[in-house]
Chain A
Amino acid sequence: MSLMAILDKLKHLVKIEGNSFTFINIKINSDNTSEKFTSLNGGQTLGINLNKLTTSEKDIIRPLIPQAVEDGALLLEDKSKSRIEDIESKERTHDEQEILAFFKGKIPPDDYTALRASLYLKKRFADGAGKDEISELKRQIIWRYSKCGRNISDLCSAGYFETLIKTIFEEKERSGYSEGDILTTYNLIVEEGTLTVFVSTGMSSD
């Protein structure tokens, strides 16, 4: 049963004055302020306050949510939805598109996701996000990707992916190094977390 079909099933329950029931999303909350049913986002979102539902109304709604997910609706906490929208917004900027397009397919998939996360972290820092948020986002990167994640995050925040690491890839490709050789140098950098390895391989910084 699609979300639209489920919304259709709720029509007889939902009484919102002046509403023509054109909802395409649902927003569930449990607060003490909003009404049982509300029309949000210009009539696109049906707000449902679980705290205000009667037992029989809840009995009607309860099986509909899992059915909607089974049929392809995405069930997402509102703050994660906001986070996703923010990530996407930042990844649409020219500078991020450029750096991500360059490294996509060149570095391991996990490193690529760690890079995306690190670029987001960097942008949140630039936004003026609080220390707690920044620490927590970095902790999440390190928890998932361990030492390499930490190093990618540090190298990214210092701007090295856009500059020296990108240059290493470009120079080595131009010089005819194999993908494997280039990746070996890259892996040494992210595993060590510094560019001392870069210097020690004898490449000039010019």
Chain B
Amino acid sequence: MSSLLQEGVITFDAASKQEILSFFGKTIDSDGYLIEADNPAQRVITPDGEDITLEEFAGIRKGSEIYIKSDLPSLIELIDIIG
């Protein structure tokens, strides 16, 4: 196993995504994008300013809740950040 992911990690399966997001006050709009539950006009974005769909949502890391996308370049960048 990766040395970066051996401890202090909370994983979730795809079926748990929406409920996990609700723990953070987030939900999904009609187009499938993550939005603030108490402000549906406000989409959740990555540090690069990108919207995130439920399918793309891969997780959250510390730092005012930084949302992680599941595409290959994003996961490679995450390796460098958490490494």
Contact = CB atoms under 8 A, between A and B. Distances in A.
Contacts of A31: 13, 15
Report the contact-size class of chain B (Cβ under 8 Å from the partner): 35 or more
Contact of B1 (A69, A77, A85): A85
B19 A113 contact: no
B63 to A, nearest CB: 9
In this complex, the member of B1, B10, B76, B82 whose beta carbon has the largest number of chain A beta carbons within 10 angstroms is B10
A167 interface: no
Contacts of A87: 72, 75-76, 79
Contacts of B14: 77, 79
A76 B76 contact: no
A66 interface: yes
Contact of A30 (B13, B24, B58, B78): B13
B42 interface: no
Interface string A66-85: 10111111111111110111
Chief secondary structure at chain A's binding surface: helix
A2 B7 CA distance: 11
A140 interface: yes
Interface string A24-58: 11111111000000000000000000100000000
Interface residues of A, number: 47
Contacts of B6: 24
A117 B73 contact: yes
B59 A117 contact: no
B37 interface: no
A137 interface: yes
Contacts of A89: 2
B59 A75 contact: yes
A144 B73 CA distance: 7
Nearest to A28: B12
B7 A113 contact: no
A28 B71 CA distance: 21
Contacts of B11: 25-28, 75-78, 81
B61 A141 contact: no
Given A74-B9, A76-B68, A66 B24 contact: yes
Given A24-B8, A70-B62, A81-B11, A50 B71 contact: no
B9 to A, nearest CB: 5
- Which 4 residue pairs across A and B have the least CB separation, nearest first? A76-B59, A140-B71, A80-B58, A30-B15
